[in-house]
């Protein structure tokens, strides 16, 4: 019985195929959540440094889709699609992130949580890949780890600027 339990626990360990990022945002979580789910806001911060964004479609609800193009500083366009599986404002988003088509090689699940602490948002972004090899490939090919850090840095600056200007929900 104990051996079976140990095997089940090992099967559930995902640490070798996940990236986890945390960030404290100097803004209320309602603003942080809105910035993550409103195409007007996303255009100002989504993507690594030097990238711009074009949203083609956005429907933030379970089963809804966000199609967008990230424009790299070198002129390369990266078509993306997100399918939302859970939307719980203002505390939690879960979605599957993939390329434009189902046959794209990039596919992973993201859970973003927003916790309020003394008027600030404590954000956690958890990216879960189907395998360790896929995580390593996406980090090597696309710089997913550094790109996520830069993206969250841009979000932090954007929402802090809005909050300082007296944002109201």
Can you list the domains of the chain with their CATH numbers?
16-164 (3.30.530.20)
Q: According to the model, what pLDDT value does residue 8 have?
A: 44
Residue 142: pLDDT band (50, 70, 90) is confident
Q: Residue 140: its pLDDT value, please? A: 93
CB 42 within 8 A of CB 32: no
Joined together, the tokens standing for residue 34 give 């809105």
Q: What are phi and psi of 124, to 5 degrees?
A: -125, 130
Provide the percentage of residues in the chain whose pLDDT is more than 70: 89
Whether 169 shows a pLDDT value over 90: the answer reads no
Helix axis angle, 144-164 to 29-37, nearest 10°: 120
44/156 Cα distance (integer angstroms):
11
- Confidence at residue 104, expressed as pLDDT on a 0 to 100 scale: 58
Q: What would the pLDDT profile of 28-83 be if each residue is shown by its tens digit?
A: 999 999 999 999 999 999 999 999 999 999 999 999 999 999 999 999 998 999 99
Mean pLDDT for 117-127 is 95
CB 128 within 8 A of CB 14: yes
State the angle between helix axes of 132-142 and 144-164 in degrees (0 to 180), rounded to the nearest 10.
70
Give the pLDDT score at 3: 43
Using the predicted structure, report yes or no on whether residue 5 has a pLDDT greater than 50: no
103 pLDDT above the threshold of 70? no
Global model pTM greater than 0.85: yes
Give the integer Cα–Cα distance in Å for 99 and 106: 6
User: What CA–CA distance (Å, rounded) separates 163 from 36?
Assistant: 15
Q: Is the dihedral of CA 38, 43, 49, 51 positive or negative?
A: positive
Q: What token pair was written down for 81?
A: 């699609």
């Amino acid at each position: 019985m104990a051996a079976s339990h140990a095997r089940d626990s090992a099967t559930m360990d995902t640490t070798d195929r996940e990236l986890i990022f945390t960030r404290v945002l100097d803004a209320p979580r309602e603003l942080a959540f809105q910035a993550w789910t409103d195409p007007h806001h996303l255009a100002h911060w989504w993507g690594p440094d030097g990238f711009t964004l074009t949203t083609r479609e956005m429907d933030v609800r379970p089963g809804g889709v966000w199609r967008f193009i990230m424009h790299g500083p070198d002129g390369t366009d990266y078509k993306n699609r997100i399918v939302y599986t859970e939307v719980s404002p203002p505390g939690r988003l879960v979605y599957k992130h993939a390329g434009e088509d189902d046959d794209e090689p990039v596919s992973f699940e993201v859970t973003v949580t927003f916790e309020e602490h003394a008027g600030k948002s404590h954000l956690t972004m958890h990216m879960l890949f189907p395998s360790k090899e896929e995580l390593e490939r996406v980090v090597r090919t696309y710089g997913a780890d550094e790109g996520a850090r830069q993206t969250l840095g841009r979000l932090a600056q954007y929402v802090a600027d809005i909050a300082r200007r007296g944002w109201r929900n």
